[in-house]
Amino acid sequence: MQDSNSAAKGRLARVRAFLLEEHRYVFLGTSILALCGLWLANQAHSPLSLLNHARGLETALYYVLVAWLAVSALALVSKLTHWKGDAYVRTSPFARPTARRAERYLSYVIWAVTLAFIVDRVVLGCVYTVQWGRAQATNPSDFLGSTVYMLHHMGSTFVQGIINTVIIALVGTIVAFFLALALVFLRLQEPDRSDNDCVRLLKVVGSGFARVYSQVVRGTPMMIQGLIIYYAGTGILTGQGMTPTQVLNVWSPFNAALVTVSLNSTAYMMEVLRSGIGAVDPGQTEAARSLGLSQWQAMRKVVFPQGIKNSIPALSNELVINIKDSSVLMAIGVLELTFATRTIAGVYYKQMEMYVASAIVYLILTLVASWALSRFERAFDTDARPVVMGTSDHLPVAGEKGGEA
């Protein structure tokens, strides 16, 4: 409770400091806001508009923005006429301390006026459009109204696609992490002098398997992997005498998608872990071995904990990648977000509206995941890294070029 109170006080202190301190380009930045406010003021009122019932107030707010632009124009003329050296600071009335303080406070008024127009025209306009689109008997022709209409009538399909996307990405990433731990242990195995021939053979085979697995999975598209896994599972179960209905109950596209994402992410996470473990000082392993620990004990008690901590930022990025890359699994008929979007667009023949809505949802999901993962990283005192918005192929692996095994 005390920590939350101190954090709140800290935020209030930062806001107060921001409001009281001097800012550069007050006229330029606030004039851009004022122009946006004037443009919004010239837009049509929605039936829910509050300023439509207070035209006098709206006119006053409008001319406040115009007055600011006029003052900004005078400040620009003053700047141009006092261009050389520090003449503007010494002689311009706009550069005096009292004037600068007044300009800063007036800029906050312009922000508030522009915000009022944003709420009145944009927010309330969107609320009305949502209400209007839901009440229509047929699909409207305008962009936002049509999007609302389609999501209202087929919202359950769209929501189910979002839920399945989150489940596939989250479960697949968690399962892949534990599989990657096992594979990276195999990948790092090296024959020891104390090992007998059988143990040496197992270590060589295990390391080779992990290396080949990484090369194959990272060298092929996840869509192709999903198709192979789904149809291979279907073929095996059909060969056991199961009917198509029984096969679908056991091996659904959703289950195949979970397996595909898990196996695909395992290869990338294994290389990330190998990179993190490679960043651990080799002297620590040697010190552990000199104290009598076996190779397995040294890895488990000394190297692995530090390697995992080093890898947390890149490992967490894999969840963001899986949220987006799960879209390719629509190829096997999984009802994820992209498949749901395409289904709704096909029913109403309105592609652009639905794909824009889908893109917004993907952006929200990745932003929420990035925020949650950054909090998770700070809990482990790891250095935050920018969220990777593409594939994991570029992640470096210690001791090798390009991250190749």
**Under a CB-based contact definition with an 8 Å cutoff, are residues 133 and 145 in contact?**
yes
Q: Which residue from 312, 214, 228 is spatially nearest to 271, judged by alpha carbons? A: 214
Rounded CA gap, 300 and 293, in Å?
10
Residue-level pLDDT at 301:
75
pLDDT at 115: 96
Mean pLDDT of 328-334: 93
Main-chain phi, psi angles of 292, to 5 degrees = 100, 5
Ordered alpha helix ranges (H), 52-191: 55-81, 87-91, 97-117, 124-135, 143-153, 155-187
Please provide the average confidence, as pLDDT, over all residues in the chain: 84
Rg (CA), the chain: 30
Percent of the chain with pLDDT over 90: 48
Cα(91)–Cα(21) distance, integer angstroms: 22
* Mean pLDDT, range 310-325, rounded to an integer: 86
Could you tell me what percentage of the chain is helix, strand and coil, using 3-state DSSP and rounding each to the nearest 5?
80, 0, 20
The total of other beta-carbon atoms located within 10 Å of residue 38's CB is 17
**Lowest-confidence segment of 56-60, 210-214, 370-374, 382-386 by average pLDDT:** 382-386
Nearest to 343 by CA among 101, 130, 159, 105: 159
Identify the pLDDT of residue 215. Answer: 94
User: How high is the pLDDT of residue 170?
Assistant: 95
Whether 279 shows a pLDDT value over 90: the answer reads no
Give the Cα separation of 230 and 248 in Å (integer). 11
3-state helix/strand/coil string of 273-337: HHHHHHCCCHHHHHHHHHCCCCHHHHHHHHHHHHHHHHHHHHHHHHHHHHHHHHHHHHHHCCCCH
Tokens 């629509």 -> residue: 330
Could you give the domains of the chain? 7-135 (no CATH), 146-380 (1.10.3720.10)
Query: Is the pLDDT score of 330 beyond 90?
Result: yes
| pLDDT score of 359 more than 90 | yes
Rounded distance between C-alpha atoms, residue 288 and residue 297, angstroms = 8
What is the pLDDT, as a whole number, of residue 98?
84
| Predicted pLDDT of residue 75 | 84
d(CA 203, CA 206): 5
**How many residues in the chain?**
405
Predicted confidence band at 17 (pLDDT cuts at 50, 70, 90)? low
Q: How confident is the model at residue 382 (pLDDT cuts 50, 70, 90)?
A: very low
Tokens of 393: 């192929």
Cβ neighbours, 10 Å, residue 20: 10
Is 262 within 8 Å of 225 (Cβ atoms)?
A: no
For tokens 């009122």, the residue is 45
Question: What single string gives the DSSP state of each residue in 202-228?
Answer: HHHHHHHHHHHHHHHHHTS-HHHHHHH
Decide: residue 69, CB within 10 A, 0-12 exposed, 13-18 middle, 19+ buried: middle
